[in-house]
């Protein structure tokens, strides 16, 4: 199972549109995939972040992290890095549950960098957690021009992701 983690809890985020497109591509390529959107985190997430057995929340970790062998992180660029809620989500996961998994990072940004900084910062954190991070890291810059209300629509960005996921399946 591949879990695609949409790395923000912002409503109507472009990251979720990109995540839905990744899900579609992976399923067309024959993979089992699912989306974990951080908008699903409980309202009191920040008060129960270090309590591993919180009802509802532990099930989310089990479904999206424990049961996945690969992780796709869709990383929006916020203030020159990845969103704080994604770091908090990671902080709430027992490191043993995520170590040894394979991950890839898709950068999303309004600006020209396409998320190169969040990718770099997040790679450091994942390596600390002993997650294997794929070197191919697509960068979707000027994201507002590449999406409609639901999905990524730009043909060349979609082709780039198709090629990326074929290579990721060999990683
Ligand atoms: C709090 C916040 C900070 C942001 N900081 C940056 C930034 O530093 N560089 C940039 O290119 N875009 C920045 N953006 C724009 C996002 O890259 C843009 O909203 C993009 O669509 C990805 O975020 P989304 O998934 O929330 O839509 C920021 C957006 C928010 C909400």
C-alpha of residue 15 to centroid of ligand 1, in Å: 10
CA dihedral 71, 46, 40, 104 (to 10 degrees): -10
**Tokens standing for residue 15:** 């990251």
For ligand 1, what atom is nearest to the CA of residue 81? 8
pLDDT at position 156: 98
pLDDT > 70 fraction of the chain, expressed in percent and rounded: 97
**What residues does ligand 1 touch, defined as CB less than 6 Å away?**
8, 10, 13-15, 76-80, 108-111, 143
Residue pLDDT, tens place only, 76-130: 999 999 999 999 999 999 999 999 999 999 999 999 999 999 999 999 999 999 9
User: H or E segment at 118?
Assistant: helix 116-128
Across-strand partners of 139? 107
pLDDT at 46 over 70: yes
Helix axes 84-91, 116-128, angle to 10 degrees: 10
Taking the whole predicted model, whether its pTM rises above 0.95 is answered as yes
Distance of CA 78 from the midpoint of ligand 1 (Å): 5
Residue 113 CA, closest ligand 1 atom number: 11
Cα–Cα distance measured from residue 117 to residue 165, given in angstroms and rounded to the nearest whole number:
21
Supply the DSSP symbol for 11.
T
CATH architecture of 2-170: 3-Layer(aba) Sandwich (3.40)
Give the nearest ligand 1 atom to 77 CA. 17
Instruction: Please give the pLDDT value at position 50.
Output: 83
Does the structure show a pLDDT above 80 at 54? Answer: no
Q: What would the pLDDT profile of 3-42 be if each residue is shown by its tens digit?
A: 999 999 999 999 999 999 999 999 999 999 999 999 999 9
**Whether the Cβ atoms of residue 140 and residue 109 lie closer than 8 Å to each other:** yes
**Spatial separation of the C-alpha atoms in residues 38 and 73, rounded to whole Å:** 11
For the chain, the domains span 2-170
Ligand 1, atom 14: closest residue by C-alpha? 78
Side-chain half-sphere exposure of 21, counting CA atoms within 13 A: 26
- Cα of 158 vs centre of ligand 1, distance in Å, is 20
């Amino acid at each position: 199972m591949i879990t695609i983690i949409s790395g923000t809890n912002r409503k109507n985020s472009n990251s979720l549109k990109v995540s839905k497109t990744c899900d579609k591509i992976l399923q067309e390529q024959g993979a089992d995939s699912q989306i974990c959107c951080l908008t699903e985190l409980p309202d009191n997430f920040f008060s129960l972040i270090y309590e591993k057995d919180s009802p509802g929340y532990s099930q989310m970790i089990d479904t999206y992290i424990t049961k996945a062998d690969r992780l796709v992180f869709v990383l929006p660029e916020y203030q020159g890095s990845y969103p704080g809620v994604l770091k908090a989500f990671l902080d709430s996961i027992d490191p043993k549950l995520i170590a040894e998994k394979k991950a890839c990072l898709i950068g999303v940004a309004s600006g020209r960098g396409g998320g190169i900084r969040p990718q770099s910062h997040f790679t450091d954190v994942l390596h600390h957690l002993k997650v294997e991070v794929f070197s191919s890291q697509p960068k979707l810059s000027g994201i507002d021009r590449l999406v409609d209300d639901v999905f990524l629509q730009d043909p060349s960005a979609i082709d780039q992701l198709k090629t990326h996921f074929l290579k990721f399946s060999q990683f």
